[in-house]
Amino acid sequence: MLEQLDAIYSQALARLDGLTDGEALAEWQRRYLGKKGEITLLLRATGTLPQEQRAAFGQRANALRDALSAAYTERATAVRQAELSRSLEEAPLDVTLPGRRVPVGGLHPTTQTLRQIYAIWAEMGFQVFRSRDVEDDDTNFTLLNIPPHHPARDMWDTFHTTTPGVILRTHTSPGQIRAMHTYGENGTQPIRVILPGMCYRYEQISARSEIQFNQVEGLATGRNIRLTDLKGTITEFARRMFGPDKRVRFRGSYFPFTEPSLEVDIECILCGGDGCPVCKYTGWIEIAGCGMVHPVVLQNGGYDPREWSGFAFGMGPERMTMNVHGIQDIRYFWQNDLRFLEQF
């Protein structure tokens, strides 16, 4: 067996010398050193030798195996080098070629609208307040004057979680309560904030409604805030956002957390009021819901409604973006289709 071992060793070494490509090397490796390789099999057979020969044989076999491994590694490195220089010669590398351009992303159209909205409200003294997306039922509804089982809850189809009472916010209005608790210092400080962020509604998805969308809520509290302040402030915002000559109108509406409640329309951006498919031939486009903060909500936020008042509004940046660019389908916003996104 010892002669056999030496013979395999010399043969393997001789063959290794002639190998010039990676595939042949792998084949060689399998044949001699692999799991069923010739050297491996001999080593395993050590046990069949008479007791007194085993140690010497084992030692020798191990040494030869290590020598072959080392020779293999050396050869493999040389072959890899040779292959590399060969391929460089065959297809020379032009290091002066310009590199591949890394695609640069752009801002999502909604993000662009949001930033415009932030900038305008900032100029008017409103700070951004970030409120949570995952809300409790109390803050999303009850504290906003929508008690359990109140039919007004039907206005917001809700995503529930597996934890009872924990939901995805259906609007940014619960942020009003959180802002009052955070900034109000127990109902002693005036507040001017906007609260932007995603809202979630369990709705049939269509060209006009998605199950997730942004809102920008606004809240002002103070000692003498009146409906005229609300109307003036929103009108000023609309003019800065859509153009100084745009007409703005207010219509009576209903929200449980404002009293009185209004909806705000501006003259259609696309047709200027003449009537077109975007404004459904009315000449007007709805941009926000708003109203004077309901006394119950002020109270729940820690403010005494006999001394304090406030206004609130909620606007939809995706809807605004659709109106400005004449986008027909809200589903484009989250479809992640670059052909859509690259247009902005």
Q: Interface residues with ligand PHE (CB under 6 A)? A: 171, 173, 217, 255, 258, 289-291, 312-314
User: With respect to ligand PHE, which residue has the nearer C-beta, 38 or 263?
Assistant: 263
CB of 293 to ligand PHE, least distance (A): 8
| Rounded-to-10 torsion of CA 127, 177, 186, 295 | 110
Paired tokens of 190: 């005036």
Paired tokens of 104: 């640069």
CB of 99 to ligand PHE, least distance (A): 48
User: With respect to ligand PHE, which residue has the nearer C-beta, 28 or 313?
Assistant: 313
CB of 195 to ligand PHE, least distance (A): 10
User: With respect to ligand PHE, which residue has the nearer C-beta, 19 or 290?
Assistant: 290
Residue that the structure tokens 């369990």 belong to: 202
User: With respect to ligand PHE, which residue has the nearer C-beta, 184 or 291?
Assistant: 291
| Helix 109-123, helix 227-242: angle, nearest 10 | 130
| Closest residue by beta carbon to ligand PHE | 314
What's the rounded Cα separation, in Å, for the pair 1 and 14? 20
CB of 318 to ligand PHE, least distance (A): 13
Q: Which of 106, 120, 4 is nearest to 60 (CA)?
A: 4
CA-CA-CA-CA torsion sign (320, 335, 202, 133): negative
| Helix 109-123, helix 317-325: angle, nearest 10 | 110
User: With respect to ligand PHE, which residue has the nearer C-beta, 263 or 267?
Assistant: 263
CB of 201 to ligand PHE, least distance (A): 9
